[in-house]
Amino acid sequence: MARPKIALIGGGQIGGVLAQLAALRELGDVVMFDIVEGMPQGKMLDLAEASPVDGFDVELKGTNDYKDIEGSDMVIVTAGLPRKPGMSRDDLIEVNSKIMTQVSEGIKQYAPNSFVIIISNPLDAMVTLCQKITGFPSERVMGQAGVLDSARFETFIAWELGVSVKDVTAMTLGGHGDTMVPLVRYASVKGIPVMELLEQKYGSAAKAQEVMDAMVERTKKAGGEVVALLKTGSAFYSPASSAIAMAESILKDQKRVLPTCALLKGEYGVDNYYVGVPCVLGANGVEKIIEFKLNDEEQAMFDNSVNAVKELVGSMKM
């Protein structure tokens, strides 16, 4: 049986880590495409030369020709510019939508049966554009934001409570911007509500709330925190890990429940917009959008985030 073929469109910071993770986990053969001549070829040669040491056995190729992505089962897109300090994700829309248009045409032509995971920012708009141009069914075109935003929230909770990150579960919903909605009510340590543990730690509900509010704020601004430190780019390890979790769930039909930027067709009262919600990812891509009841406050925050996505998508020339 042939190994799955994974195409990475964009071989920059995130693209490089994606290639390494996909190879280490032997998810399939990897082709890295970039417009910079020599760079994807050099990175994939370098990575191939690590294979005897790490013991992974997959084919790796770097290219500047879309033809080489032919027949890919999975395409992960990071092509585009990252943020610089002081920029919002939305500031990237003009330049990155031009890039996403070219990329989507390449995918449509050479990998018409692929699953596509978009990482490029502004995420919600870039996924929308890719699905429009490729015309692929929405189960096959999705965006990565929620796995990372949730992981950031989980990281801060684990640090605060002094417990392993493995035992923390938390989720963010909505768009991949400052309006994202970290769900406090369902954040737990092995099922025990985080708010209860914070109250035990601080001895008062008010102080627990204050600490939680600070973690929620840090989660919403976590991407910017990394940008401000790096100065020359944005986060790359964690976005790559997050997209690989999604790709792996599809390629291995794991049916993991992962917050995914998926096209809503009436779910959560949203019609025809890509928004982050929990989804089952398996061999058929986005196999199920999981709906659950939000309370009034959560619904209001979710609606606010959806409105920001609508405004962003509306500002894009399509």
Annotated binding site for NAD(+): 10-15, 34, 96, 119-121
The binding site for substrate comprises 83, 89, 121, 152
Asked if 266 and 275 touch (Cβ cutoff 8 Å), the reply is no
The binding site comprises 10-15, 34, 83, 89, 96, 119-121, 152
Q: State in angstroms the smallest separation of the CB of 179 from ligand TXD.
A: 15
DSSP 179-223: T-EE-STT-EETTEEHHHHHHHHHSSHHHHHHHHHHHHHHHHTHH
Q: State in angstroms the smallest separation of the CB of 209 from ligand TXD.
A: 28
Query: Buried b / exposed e across 283-312, counting CB within 10 Å, b at 16+?
Result: eebbeebeeeebeeebeebbbebbebbeeb
Q: Which is nearer to ligand TXD, 189 or 273 (CB)?
A: 273
67 is catalytic: no
Backbone torsion region of residue 26, taken as left when φ is above 0, otherwise alpha when ψ lies between -120 and 50, otherwise beta: left
**Active-site annotation holder among 61, 140, 176, 220:** 176
Q: Given the rule CB under 6 A, which residues bind ligand TXD? A: 9-15, 34-36, 78-83, 92, 96, 99, 102-103, 119-121, 123, 144-145, 148, 176, 233-236, 239
Q: State in angstroms the smallest separation of the CB of 222 from ligand TXD.
A: 10
Q: Which token pair is 223?
A: 């991407």
Residue type, 218: R
Q: Which token pair is 101?
A: 């248009």
The torsion angle over the Cα atoms of residues 252, 254, 31 and 13, rounded to 10 degrees, is -150
Q: State in angstroms the smallest separation of the CB of 128 from ligand TXD.
A: 14
Q: Which is nearer to ligand TXD, 123 or 197 (CB)?
A: 123
Q: Which is nearer to ligand TXD, 22 or 79 (CB)?
A: 79
In three-state secondary structure terms, 313 is helix
Q: State in angstroms the smallest separation of the CB of 87 from ligand TXD.
A: 9
Residue nearest to ligand TXD (CB): 12
Question: Hey, which bits of the chain come out as E strands?
Answer: 5-9, 29-33, 60-63, 74-77, 115-118, 141-143, 168-169, 172-173, 181-182, 188-189, 192-193, 256-265, 271-282, 285-289
Q: What residues are annotated to the active site?
A: 176
